[in-house]
Amino acid sequence: MPVANKYRKRFYYLFTFVVGLILALRKIPWATDDQNYLNYVTYSHLLFSNTVDKALHNPLFILVNEPIWLLLNNCFNLIFEPETVIRIFIFFSAVSVLYALGKITNYSFLTIFFFLFLVQIIKNHILHLRQGLAVGIFLLGFTREGKKGILLRFITPFIHTSFWFVLFIEVFEKWTKNFFTLSARLVIFIVSAFSFVFTIPFLMELSGDRRIKLYAGYEAGSYYGFLLWLLMGLLFFLLVKKNETGIIGRYAIILYVLTYFFIDFGARLFENYIPIIVAAILMSNKESKVILVFVLIIYGGITWYSWDGFSF
């Protein structure tokens, strides 16, 4: 490894550790969901037992009630105070995301900048901690080869249910890439994803998911997300390399734009892919990266401006 790259890697790890530590040391409770996460830790043994009991009557329930998340809370609760458990989750999720993205982007410091700058990334490490943990574990698996990588990715839906969609895209790409061109795969994916959306309420009702009402309804949003990612998606398709990261990003953008008018939780689902999309952009050639980074900064600024501040 060249000396410059070696020092860049060391400084990247140092900043990663500092970012994780700063986020983990925030006040608890502070965010609106903090009390829920404290309850997860405190009552984890009851919640886990309830999940097991319901799964005995309906085995599909185990697929939608995040048992590994409950088990982690239960195990940590035997050793640490609830506030400390939350800090561990925050630190590990932030560090694991930055560590994995560093490996993908050759330790570009723009990775750390966008981690802190983009609402859709940073909020999962200060607000939606369960999703942030799942993103971190998935990305660790994404950067590893073999059975360990598969195992890490496979457990993520048992931490946050939305990762069943993420695994769906990975499995789809693996099964079809040897038989179809990328253009054909994207067309097949559009048809498959569009069909799958309308089966979600039925599947969730079958599994006994507690959020069935969320999946069954739709409330129109501002359409900003649709318009922004329609435009950004066009640039992404034109300028980003067609490597593994870039292809996953293409699927994610298609899924978000395609389902925007049909499912309420599409934005939360799409957040799982934002770190991968950022990594794909940072791996582009110099000219494309300049354009895409500039657009990404504008997008981040618009998102913060339209967010009206976090509601804690």
pLDDT in tens, 177-197: 989 999 999 999 988 887 777
- Whole-number average pLDDT of the chain: 87
Contact predicate 140/150, CB 8 Å:
no
Distance set, CA 214 to CA 58, 65, 174, 181, 235 (Å): 21, 15, 30, 36, 32
Is the pLDDT score of 216 beyond 60? no
Is the pLDDT score of 217 beyond 70? no
Tokens of 226: 């649709």
Determine the Cα–Cα distance for residues 215 and 263; give it in Å rounded to an integer: 7
Per-residue confidence at 310, pLDDT binned at 50, 70, 90?
very low
The pTM for the full model equals 0.90
Contact predicate 1/31, CB 8 Å:
no
- Give the contacts of 174 (CB within 8 A, at least 6 positions apart): none
Contact predicate 141/126, CB 8 Å:
no
Determine the Cα–Cα distance for residues 162 and 262; give it in Å rounded to an integer: 16
- Give the residue-averaged pLDDT of 243-268: 87
- Give the residue-averaged pLDDT of 149-178: 92
Contact predicate 153/142, CB 8 Å:
yes
Q: What is the pLDDT of residue 223?
A: 73
Distance set, CA 296 to CA 12, 119, 231, 299 (Å): 21, 12, 11, 5
The secondary element (H helix, E strand) that includes residue 245 is helix 244-259
> Which of 69, 29, 28, 27 has the alpha carbon at shortest distance from 48?
69
Q: What's CA 190's distance to the chain center, in Å?
A: 21
Determine the Cα–Cα distance for residues 290 and 106; give it in Å rounded to an integer: 17
Determine the Cα–Cα distance for residues 191 and 139; give it in Å rounded to an integer: 27
